[in-house]
Amino acid sequence: MSRVTPVAGLARLAGVAAIAVMLGACAALKASTAPSAEQQWPSTLSLADAHAMRGEFDAADSMLAAFAARYPGSDEALETAYWRAVFKLDPTNRNGSLPTALAELDGYLASNQRRDHIAEATTLRRVGGQLTELNKLAADALTQAQTAKVTAATATAVAVDAKEAKAATVDANADAQVEIKRLKDELAKANAELDRIRKRLSQPPPPKDRF
């Protein structure tokens, strides 16, 4: 059975320590050579803006979202919220969303980090709020118009029904008048016949012949 001498054990520990130091140095070197958020941000924003100019808003949004996920907590990651809101507010963006854009701006303005577009974001937030109110008023007006249309249609239907009911009533009254006249005529005939019978009965009987 082999035995590890103290010298060999120390050499082994020294080798392990050296490897650990080398790995740490490599990691530090890799971290130092990896591009930072500050270095990557200008090119990322430029590419995202180029996508947006071509109407490729989904690609621009995905690129900014990926950057924010890669460099969370950085000032540049916070700037992606502003630019994503700008692209979401573009009228030509078919997948634009006013509520989403306002949420991005709210998060951007609420942050305590360094921000490059505070004034612009504040203005956009106000405009977005006014658009929200206008959209609400337009929706309410449309609802009222639809309600008025339904009410008018119902009133028209009621008026038509009333007209038809009135016409039916007139026809029924005319039929009733005809029937009443017929009954009066028959009653007059019956009374005349009754008078003839009464007069005939009131005359004395003719005398009988005597033999």
Lowest average pLDDT, out of 26-30, 100-104, 119-123, goes to 26-30
Q: DSSP letter at 92?
A: T
pLDDT, tens digit, for every residue of 122-152? 999 999 999 998 888 888 888 888 888 888 8
How far is residue 129 CA from its own chain's centroid? 17
Q: How confident is the model at residue 22 (pLDDT cuts 50, 70, 90)?
A: low
pLDDT, tens digit, for every residue of 155-188? 888 878 778 878 877 777 788 888 888 888 877 7
Say if residue 96 is exposed, middle or buried (CB neighbours under 10 Å; 0-12, 13-18, 19+).
middle
d(CA 87, CA 7): 67
Lowest average pLDDT, out of 8-12, 45-49, 182-186, goes to 8-12
User: pLDDT at position 174, please?
Assistant: 83
DSSP assignment string, 122-179: HHHHHHHHHHHHHHHHHHHHHHHHHHHHHHHHHHHHHHHHHHHHHHHHHHHHHHHHHH
User: pLDDT at position 31, please?
Assistant: 46
User: pLDDT at position 15, please?
Assistant: 56
Say if residue 121 is exposed, middle or buried (CB neighbours under 10 Å; 0-12, 13-18, 19+).
buried
User: pLDDT at position 72, please?
Assistant: 96
146's CB contacts (< 8 A; 6+ apart) are none
Question: Could you tell me the end-to-end alpha-carbon distance of the chain, in angstroms, rounded to an integer?
Answer: 185
Burial 3-26 (b: 16+ CB within 10 A, else e): eeeeeeeeeeeeeeeeeeeeeeee
Q: What's the average model confidence in pLDDT over 23-44?
A: 71
SS3 content of the chain, % helix, strand, coil (to 5): 80, 0, 20
Q: What's the average model confidence in pLDDT over 54-67?
A: 97
